[in-house]
Structure 1
Amino acid sequence: MSAPVLYLMICGAGPADHIDRMVKLAQVDGWDVWCIASPSAVEHFLDLEALEALSGHSVRTGHQRAGQPALPKAAAVIVAPATYNTINKWAAGIADTYVLTQLAELTGLGVPIAVLPFVNTALANNRVFHRSVAELRESDVTVLFGEGGFIPHPPRTGGKVMDSYPWQAALDAVKASM
């Protein structure tokens, strides 16, 4: 029996520097991890070669090209780190990147999705962000924001919370929703 496929959607925020932690946790838990990265994650945070070696798969950074194999069907999705921008665009139905297009489709297909935000307190205090979190939750997306998930940090202090970023909570959430 093959391992269930987990899409790991990676956005451009500090924890992306440590995405290997999520990949390793998921692999130990029996998942076949396929990484899909936003342009910002690729440009500023990821070592694609290292991530491909760890996951055993190429990192998808854009739409499928002619001759490129399709991604396998996902059993579940984790979006981590999920940025303010990605959460708000996704909730508003904007699909202007490959990551957002995939999230829109996967939400519509009812695939279990867990979102692990990474936002500071200033961004988290915006009404639009709260509306977006509520909208995603109404769409049966598990948003791990608040108690038991991600707790925002003061602006310009994100580097101090890398070691406490709750990767395991995202993995537990997708397992619980299956």
Structure 2
Amino acid sequence: MTRTLYLISSAAPPARHVPVGIRAAQARGWDVCLVLTPSAHRWAVEDAQGELEELCALTGHPVRHQYKLPSEADVLPAPDAILSAPATLNTLTKWADGHADTLALGLLTEALGLPVPVVALPYINAAQAQHPALTRAVTTLRGAGVRLLLQDQHEPDGFVPHQPKHGNVHAYPWDLALEALPATP
């Protein structure tokens, strides 16, 4: 039986390489549904000709980025797990504060009240990691049951923030996040 993974990607450089994460999840037996933040969606539309169509073909599902109308049917199956990757400072802090002003944040905030495992793999730089709102967000999200993969005493193998302007998107640890998800049957 295939299980459904919602991959929620924020506008950080690894989002430009989201097919790597999708293929890795599919290789582990997940049916992947991609949800983009509005900025990540803009990147896919404006920066890459045909990228949205390629992502739809890769997942077999529409790529969602905005709320549907109440009269419209859901086009994605219900998730068995949720992965927020890459998760930006903006996504993490707004999520922790309960904001739901985008579809991506709405799904993430709702997930905290559902019996669904949630993993978050950040992509932030060392300067952003010093912002006081991050510590509060990490504490809040972990307290709500999110497996937040940011390197510290709780996640010694988690994501290590890079120096500003020196991130390596090719080294983004998609496998770390996928290993944190429950095994598929």
Shorter-chain TM-score: which interval?
over 0.9
1:168 aligns with 2:175: yes
1:109 aligns with 2:114: yes
Q: Provide the residue aligned with 1:40 in structure 2.
A: 39
Would you identify which runs of 4 or more consecutive aligned residues in structure 1 move more than 6 Å?
none
Q: Provide the residue aligned with 2:158 in structure 1.
A: 149
Q: Deviation of residue 73 (structure 1)?
A: 1.4
1:55 aligns with 2:59: yes
Is this contact kept in 2: 1:13–1:45, CA < 8 A? Answer: no
TM-score by length of 1: 0.92
Is this contact kept in 1: 2:82–2:119, CA < 8 A? Answer: yes
Question: More helix per residue: 1 or 2?
Answer: 1
Q: Provide the residue aligned with 2:91 in structure 1.
A: 86
TM-score by length of 2: 0.89
SS at match of 1:175: coil
Residues 50-92 of structure 1, C-alpha deviation per residue, up to 9 Å, x if partnerless?
1111111110111123444342111101000000000000001
Aligned sequence identity (%):
42
Number of residue equivalences: 175
Question: Which runs of structure 2 are paired with 1:2-21 in the superposition (5 Å)?
Answer: 3-21=2-20
Match for 2:16: what amino acid?
D
Runs of 5+ consecutive residues of structure 2 not aligned to the other structure? 46-50
Runs of 5+ consecutive residues of structure 1 not aligned to the other structure? none
